[in-house]
């Protein structure tokens, strides 16, 4: 074992591309930042982003909004979730997902997690039956995608509408189908730590005419929905335009201009993330006591973070790994910590949801260790990260 130390920064992202900076400056020079503040016959940056994202995902319609969390809440309202409704979601997710459910007055019902870090399909069937829920907000947490064909078979058979939370899977696929194209609605994030970066931002896609028009009206279009180009026909809006509340969460031209360039570069960035992931994965393979997550052949994932399990380890041992790695410059997040830390928390931390014991999932959740892989890290950096983690796992496991 060595005493190597990593000097990189886990929150440092790549610079915004020069082409995107130029596009943003052009928007600022125009003074027209609001999405509906366009010249006659002009298609603004937000509408263009929506067209391009719809084409990228293969969806009929797309809507750009202020955040991924807003997209989640908007999707719930658009599919008709109401106060008191039960909505299913993963026990392994981050707070914005159950938070979106609670924000519309609905009740989060948690579904267990497997040791592959995906939703437990057996538990899903039980929870559908027990809860009577008719909506599943499926979180592809940390980029892990469940067997989508099996999940949709269950949900379609039970009359359950699926909303996909694709915050960690923009650019990913299942069996060649882009993530987000199985459910009725998909929501994506463009927050700084996601796959394209506008600081905050979100996107929503759907093929459903009525869901799309409700989402556009909810987002704050007022009667300016005609300015959207990735939308259903104008006559569809007649059904809902007087009955759908305005809950403004529009994206602006400045963020859209930055994102359009990054979207064009996303395929290359996915390759870069996956190269880093594979280096860390190989460096951690066959470490005693450490369980890697084996990715299914059908899953085309984006390795912007990596997870491993320390199953059946004591809290003290896991805490030792985390603290010793941190002392050597490696920031790990442990989902088993008794108190939430920064963005990391578990289903039993969210007290706005009813208590729901999940003993089988708890053994997995308390074993999950997570590490972000920014593209500012080189392949050599990733090899060093793996060596440090390997050292400290072996040391703590002795």
pLDDT, residue 2, reads: 73
Cα 196 from Cα 184, distance rounded (Å):
23
Query: Could you say which of 226, 243, 263 is where a domain stops?
Result: 263
206 and 287 co-located in one domain: no
In-domain check, residue 179: yes
Domain presence at residue 230: yes
What is the number of domains present in the chain? Answer: 2
Q: What CATH number corresponds to the domain at position 131?
A: 3.40.640.10
Boundary-marking domain end, from 263, 290, 316: 263
Q: Which domain holds residue 86?
A: 18-263
Q: Six-digit token pair at 351? A: 């007290």
SS3 276: helix
Closest CA to 213 of 230, 198, 199: 230
Shared domain for 225 and 280, answered yes or no, is no
Cα distance between residue 24 and residue 139, in whole Å:
32
Enter the DSSP assignment of 113.
B
Instruction: Tell me, yes or no, whether 12 lies in a domain.
Output: no
Residue 250 included in any domain: yes
7, part of any domain: no
One domain for residues 173 and 42: yes
- pLDDT-based confidence at residue 344 (cuts at 50, 70, 90): confident
What is the structure's pLDDT at 43? 94
Q: Which residues contact 370 (CB under 8 A, 6 or more apart)?
A: 142, 305, 306, 307, 332, 333, 334, 335, 344
Are residue 355 and residue 330 in the same domain, yes or no?
yes
Q: Do 276 and 253 sit in the same domain of this protein?
A: no
Query: Exposed/middle/buried for 15, CB within 10 Å: 0-12, 13-18, 19+?
Result: exposed
Q: Which helix (H) or strand (E) holds 71?
A: helix 68-78
Residues 66 and 199 placed together within one structural domain of the fold: yes
Does residue 343 form part of some domain?
yes
Q: How do residues 28-48 score in pLDDT, each as one tens digit?
A: 999 999 999 999 989 999 999
**pLDDT mean over 328-339:** 92
Question: pLDDT for 161-220, tens place per residue?
Answer: 999 999 999 999 999 999 999 999 999 999 999 999 999 999 999 999 999 999 999 999
User: In terms of domains, do 278 and 233 share one?
Assistant: no
In this prediction, residue 1 has a pLDDT band, given cuts at 50, 70 and 90, of: low
pLDDT (tens digit, 9 = 90+) per residue, 216-266?
999 999 999 999 999 999 999 999 999 999 999 999 999 999 999 999 999
Q: What is the pLDDT of residues 135-155, one digit of tens each?
A: 999 999 999 999 999 999 999
């Amino acid at each position: 074992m060595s005493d190597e130390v990593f000097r990189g920064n886990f929150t440092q992202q790549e610079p915004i591309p020069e082409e995107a900076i130029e596009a943003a400056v052009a928007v600022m020079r125009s003074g027209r930042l609001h999405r509906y503040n366009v010249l006659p016959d002009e298609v603004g940056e937000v509408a263009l982003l929506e067209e391009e994202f719809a084409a990228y995902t293969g969806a009929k319609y797309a809507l750009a909004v202020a955040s991924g969390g807003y997209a989640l809440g908007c999707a719930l309202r658009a599919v008709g979730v109401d106060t008191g409704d039960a909505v299913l979601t993963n026990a392994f997710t981050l707070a914005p997902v159950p938070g979106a459910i609670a924000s519309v007055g609905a009740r989060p019902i948690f579904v267990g997690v497997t040791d592959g870090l995906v939703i437990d399909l057996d538990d899903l069937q039980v929870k559908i039956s027990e809860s009577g829920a008719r909506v599943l907000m499926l979180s592809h947490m940390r980029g892990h995608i469940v067997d989508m064909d099996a999940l949709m078979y269950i949900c379609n058979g039970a009359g359950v509408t699926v909303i996909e939370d694709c915050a960690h899977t923009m650019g990913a696929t299942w069996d060649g189908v882009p993530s987000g194209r199985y459910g009725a609605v998909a929501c994506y994030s463009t927050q700084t730590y996601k796959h394209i970066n506008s600081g905050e931002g979100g996107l929503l896609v759907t093929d459903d005419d009525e869901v799309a028009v409700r989402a556009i009206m909810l987002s704050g279009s007022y009667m300016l929905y005609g300015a959207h180009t990735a939308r259903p026909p104008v006559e569809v809006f007649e059904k809902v335009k007087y009955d759908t509340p305005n809950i403004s969460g529009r994206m602006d031209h400045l963020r859209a201009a930055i994102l359009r360039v990054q979207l064009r570069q996303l395929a290359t960035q996915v390759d870069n993330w996956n190269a880093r992931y594979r280096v860390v994965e190989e460096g951690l393979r066959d470490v005693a006591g450490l369980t890697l997550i084996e990715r299914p052949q059908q899953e085309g994932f984006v390795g912007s973070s990596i997870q491993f399990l320390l199953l059946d380890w004591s809290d003290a041992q896991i805490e030792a790994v985390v603290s010793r790695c941190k002392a050597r410059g490696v920031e790990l997040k442990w989902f088993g910590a008794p108190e939430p830390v920064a963005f990391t928390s578990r289903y039993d931390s969210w007290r706005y949801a009813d208590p729901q014991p999940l003993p089988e999932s708890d053994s997995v959740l308390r074993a999950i260790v997570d590490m972000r892989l920014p593209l500012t890290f080189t392949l050599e950096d990733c090899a060093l990260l793996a060596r440090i983690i390997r050292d400290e796992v072996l040391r703590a496991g002795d």
